[in-house]
């Protein structure tokens, strides 16, 4: 009679799962980096003076945010080939994740920019800064610490939704765990390990974000205690 | 009394009208300010006094009329509504503004706040900009705070840095928009003494929105009482504050004194 949780079996499958973890992490980091770029592009397009562009981009963001990621990934993987565009599972996965989360990121950036007090723009105009200097020297440096926390949350959401890509054949951690389960008729150990690995990754990610936040606003948000 | 005859105008408003949607905040406003003149704008909230300063700084648009600064049109009206001059950024450089809420850049030290615009806009070298920032900081009595961030300064100190930052661009016209209204009573004095010194020692043209009648009396050559987007009364401090002609001015001053 096998024990309820087979530690020997768990130990045996751990190396396979860990090497798949590597793939998951690379997928998540790469997709997130592209999502940031994509988010900035969407944000800029949304502010274009030509109204039709701004509205279309707004509608696109709304559409992507309101439909499930797995539907979008299936469209990219199974529908695009009908139009002659054939992408391998990895490209599809990175593309799907970065488009989906890019839309969220552009909203994060937008709310970060909008949260700055108007007085900052007034002062920049009064001092004669060009639009470019106003953005690069005044607006963006103040926006970054404000968007770190929500951006970090989306990095973690993104990593946690990457197992969806198992359904199109990306050999990331969930895909390997499912394989192991099917080969051995045991799901408890692989799924438990996958859960624990995600827990560790999420906790580590959250740590990094808090560290970045502290590093950023460190000197200028810190108050001396002048009136005690 | 201030000699307004022989001096050229620094700022002229010609039939200026401003609307926020359907709400008219400036009505057909005419105003001439000569070089070196100190003017206080008083009036109830919503009377348009801050708007006068904000449209002059081009922080807000006007829909009608013309604004001329040292002989050049900042806002021009060729009959199809007002448009900002293509040279606005150059004309605007003669004007500096200090705000009620300081609006210092929170991610820069006091010194960086002052030196940033001369470096970026006037293209001064870092050494030049820092040197002149040090001098300005000394002038407002805050040399020892050069490396402090705004969050580490009291309101009065922040406002003094903001004045130094504005002066760093060497403006000829200064706009003070309720610069002491957000301050603790005990720090109002330190900011006012800087403003007094600017008003007495140098040849600035000053437009100031204030609720402090003693300051208006002391610093201004002329006081304007605004009501409903119009200049209702325009005269010397003595005339406006001691012997107002209009009922509305009288009731405003009474309310202020009772407060």
Mutate: best of A116, A118, A120, A128, partner B, most B CBs <10 A: A128
* Burial class of residue A61, CB neighbours in 10 A (0-12, 13-18, 19+): buried
How is residue B236 written in tokens?
Answer: 């010397």
pLDDT digits (tens, 9 = 90+) for A3-48: 788 999 999 999 999 999 999 999 999 999 999 999 999 999 998 8
ipTM of the complex: 0.92
According to DSSP, the β-strands at B230-235 and B205-209 are unpaired
How is residue B5 written in tokens?
Answer: 């005859």
Q: Angle between the A140-161 and A7-46 helix axes, to the nearest 10 degrees? A: 140
pLDDT digits (tens, 9 = 90+) for A72-124: 999 999 999 999 999 999 999 999 999 999 999 999 999 999 999 999 999 99
Comparing alpha-carbon positions, the chain A residue that sits nearest to B122 is A128
- pLDDT, residue A225, reads 43
Helix (H), strand (E) at residue B208: strand B205-209
Comparing alpha-carbon positions, the chain B residue that sits nearest to A140 is B107
pLDDT bucket at B2, cuts 50 / 70 / 90? low
Neighbours of A18 (CB within 10 A): 13
- Whether the pLDDT of residue A223 is over 60: the answer is no
For the segment B87-107, the average pLDDT, to the nearest whole number, is 95
CB within 8 Å of B198: residues ≥ 6 apart: B163, B167, B174, B204, B206
CA angle A125, A129, A132 (to 5 degrees): 115
According to DSSP, the β-strands at B23-34 and B38-42 are unpaired
How is residue B118 written in tokens?
Answer: 């001369």
Contact B151, B161 (CB under 8 A): no
- pLDDT, residue A2, reads 65
Q: Which of A170, A166, A168 is nearest to A178 (CA)?
A: A166
How is residue A142 written in tokens?
Answer: 């103040």
DSSP A139: I
- Dihedral, CA atoms, A154, A155, A159, A165, nearest 10 degrees? 70
Mean pLDDT of chain B, nearest integer:
93
CA angle B98, B103, B108 (to 5 degrees): 120
CA distance A151 to A199: 18
CA distance B83 to B64: 9
Instruction: For residue B116, give how far its alpha carbon lies from the nearest alpha carbon of chain A (Å).
Output: 9
Q: Which of B31, B83, B56 is nearest to B171 (CA)?
A: B56
Structural domains of chain A ordered from first start: 24-172 (1.10.3720.10)
Question: E strands within A50-97?
Answer: none
CA distance B217 to B207: 13
Nearest to B120 among A125, A133, A219 (CB): A133
- pLDDT, residue A4, reads 85
- Dihedral, CA atoms, A211, A214, A219, A221, nearest 10 degrees? 170
Nearest to A128 among B89, B104, B148 (CB): B89
Mutate: best of A117, A118, A126, partner B, most B CBs <10 A: A126
How is residue B11 written in tokens?
Answer: 């700022």
3-class DSSP assignment, residue B226: strand
Nearest to A128 among B108, B117, B150 (CB): B117
CA angle B154, B155, B159 (to 5 degrees): 120
Contact A205, A141 (CB under 8 A): no
A119 contacts in chain B (CB < 8 Å): 99, 101-103
Question: Which pTM does this prediction carry?
Answer: 0.86
How is residue A15 written in tokens?
Answer: 């190396």
For the segment B232-253, the average pLDDT, to the nearest whole number, is 95
- pLDDT, residue B202, reads 80
- pLDDT, residue A228, reads 31
Q: Which of B145, B164, B29 is nearest to B104 (CA)?
A: B164
CA distance A40 to A90: 23
Comparing alpha-carbon positions, the chain A residue that sits nearest to B98 is A123
pLDDT bucket at B243, cuts 50 / 70 / 90? very high
For the segment A49-58, the average pLDDT, to the nearest whole number, is 91
- pLDDT, residue A1, reads 53
- Whether the pLDDT of residue A221 is over 80: the answer is no
Q: Which of B38, B37, B41 is nearest to B29 (CA)?
A: B41
pLDDT-above-90 percentage for chain A: 83
pLDDT bucket at A224, cuts 50 / 70 / 90? very low
Exposure of A61 in the CB half-sphere (CA atoms within 13 A): 24
Contact A221/B at CB under 8 A:
yes
Exposure of B150 in the CB half-sphere (CA atoms within 13 A): 19
CA distance B230 to A228: 47
Comparing alpha-carbon positions, the chain A residue that sits nearest to B170 is A127
- Whether the pLDDT of residue B127 is over 90: the answer is yes
Contact B104, B127 (CB under 8 A): no
Q: Cα–Cα distances in Å, from A188 out to A7, A160, A167, A177, B200? A: 11, 19, 20, 10, 83
CA distance A77 to A92: 6
């Amino acid at each position: 009679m096998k024990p309820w949780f087979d530690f020997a079996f768990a130990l045996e499958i751990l190396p396979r799962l860990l090497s798949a973890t590597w793939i998951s992490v690379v997928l998540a980091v790469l997709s997130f980096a592209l999502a940031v770029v994509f988010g900035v592009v969407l944000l800029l397009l949304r502010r274009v003076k030509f109204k039709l562009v701004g509205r279309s981009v707004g509608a696109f963001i709304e559409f992507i945010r309101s439909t499930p990621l797995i539907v979008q990934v299936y469209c990219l993987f199974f529908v695009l080939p009908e139009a002659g565009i054939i992408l391998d599972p990895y490209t599809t996965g990175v593309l799907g994740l970065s488009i989906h989360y890019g839309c969220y990121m552009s909203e994060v950036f937008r709310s970060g920019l909008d949260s700055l007090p108007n007085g900052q723009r007034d002062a920049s105009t009064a001092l004669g800064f060009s639009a470019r200097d106003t953005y690069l020297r005044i607006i963006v440096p103040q926006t970054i610490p404000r968007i770190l926390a929500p951006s970090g949350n989306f990095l973690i959401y993104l990593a946690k939704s990457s197992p969806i890509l198992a359904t199109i054949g990306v050999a990331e951690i969930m895909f390997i765990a499912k394989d192991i389960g099917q080969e051995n008729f045991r799901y408890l150990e692989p799924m438990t390990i996958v859960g624990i690995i995600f827990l560790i990754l999420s906790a580590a990610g959250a740590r990094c974000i808090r560290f970045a936040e502290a590093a950023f606003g460190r000197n200028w948000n810190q108050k001396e205690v002048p009136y005690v | 009394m201030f000699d307004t005859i022989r001096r050229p105008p620094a700022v002229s408003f010609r039939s200026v009208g401003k609307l926020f949607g359907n709400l008219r905040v400036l009505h057909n406003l005419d105003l001439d300010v000569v070089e070196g003149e100190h003017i206080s704008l008083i009036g109830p909230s919503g009377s348009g006094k801050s708007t006068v300063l904000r449209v002059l700084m081009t922080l807000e648009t006007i829909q009608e009329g013309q604004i001329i600064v040292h002989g050049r049109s900042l806002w021009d009206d060729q009959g199809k509504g007002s448009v900002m001059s293509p040279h606005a950024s150059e004309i605007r450089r003669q004007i500096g503004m200090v705000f009620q809420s300081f609006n210092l850049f929170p991610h820069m030290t006091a010194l960086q706040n002052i030196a940033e615009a001369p470096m970026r806009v006037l293209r001064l070298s870092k050494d030049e900009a820092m040197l002149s920032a040090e001098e300005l900081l000394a002038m407002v009595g805050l040399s020892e705070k050069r490396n402090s961030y705004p969050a580490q300064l009291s309101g009065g100190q922040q406002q003094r840095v903001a004045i130094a930052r504005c002066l760093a661009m060497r403006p000829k016209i200064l706009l003070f928009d309720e610069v002491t209204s957000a301050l603790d009573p005990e720090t109002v004095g330190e900011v006012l003494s800087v403003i007094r010194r600017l008003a007495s020692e140098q040849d600035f043209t000053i437009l100031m929105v204030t609720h402090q009648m003693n300051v208006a009396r002391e610093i201004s050559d002329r006081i304007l009482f605004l009501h409903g987007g119009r200049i209702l009364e325009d005269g010397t401090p003595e005339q406006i504050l001691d012997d107002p002609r209009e009922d509305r001015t009288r009731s405003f001053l009474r309310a202020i004194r009772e407060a």
